[in-house]
Chains A and B, each alone.
Chain A
Amino acid sequence: EIVLTQSPGTLSLSPGERATLSCRASQSVSSSYLAWYQQKPGQAPRLLIYSASSRATGIPDRFSGSGSGTDFTLTISRLEPEDFAVYYCQQYGSSPLLTFGGGTKVEIK
């Protein structure tokens, strides 16, 4: 059974800083099926990145994804006030069919 581990659990940064979020899989994940989401309190998640590195429609280019195999990264180049939220990675295709990581909270320092 594949497990996605996100680190750190909480990231305390200031607006304008760079955020680097990690997602590590217990087994190799197809890069075609690794996604990242942003969730703000009281809202549904929003797709940011699919296929490990492709930005979803309408997502600013300060968001980028990279990685392969078992190690994936979401980078926010310069944090805007609206970027402070919880971020989840997700894989599709391995058993179980679909899995989320535990999330990383990006908070204002």
Chain B
Amino acid sequence: EVQLLESGGGLVQPGGSLRLSCAASGFTFSSSGMTWVRQAPGKGLEWVSVIVSGGLTTHYADAVKGRFTISRDNSKNMLYLQMNSLRAEDTAVYYCARVSRGAMDVWGQGTTLTVSS
């Protein structure tokens, strides 16, 4: 079964750091582009970052550029999002998803980040 499972969410103080993880199974992870998408409470979907299959090319939304870092370990079928200098507006459910033909065809169930003092 094709599956993505996020973990690592929680409550963090403003200015703090956190790393999200996404475990992939059931498909050839090393051949797949991967992305993080977030959704603030009661709001729409917001793209965060994408990484190509080999991990050498990454892109970020302006809202997180310079604060977040996407990475992957193809040997472990793992995707990561290192989040630094967190702000209240980063509070959201974070989803990892597989990118295929410019669309996200497999999604995880999401992990929740709350940034609050």
Contacts and interface: CB of A to CB of B under 8 A. Distances in A.
Interface of A: 30, 32-35, 37, 39, 44-47, 50-51, 56-57, 86, 88, 90-93, 96-103
A35 to B, nearest CB: 4
Contacts, number: 71
Contacts of B37: 45, 100
Contact of A88 (B44, B61, B108, B110): B44
B44 A102 contact: yes
Contacts of A86: 44
Chain B interface residue count: which class?
20 to 34
Given A44-B107, A44-B109, A45-B95, 7 more contacts: A32-B101, A45-B45, A47-B103, A86-B44, A88-B45, A92-B99, A97-B50
A91 B102 CA distance: 8
B101 A50 contact: yes
Contacts of B47: 90, 96-100
Interface string B84-106: 00000000000100011111110
A50 B99 CA distance: 11
A103 B107 contact: no
Q: Give the 8 A-B residue pairs with the shortest CB-CB distance, closest first.
A: A33-B102, A92-B102, A35-B103, A50-B103, A44-B107, A98-B47, A100-B45, A97-B59
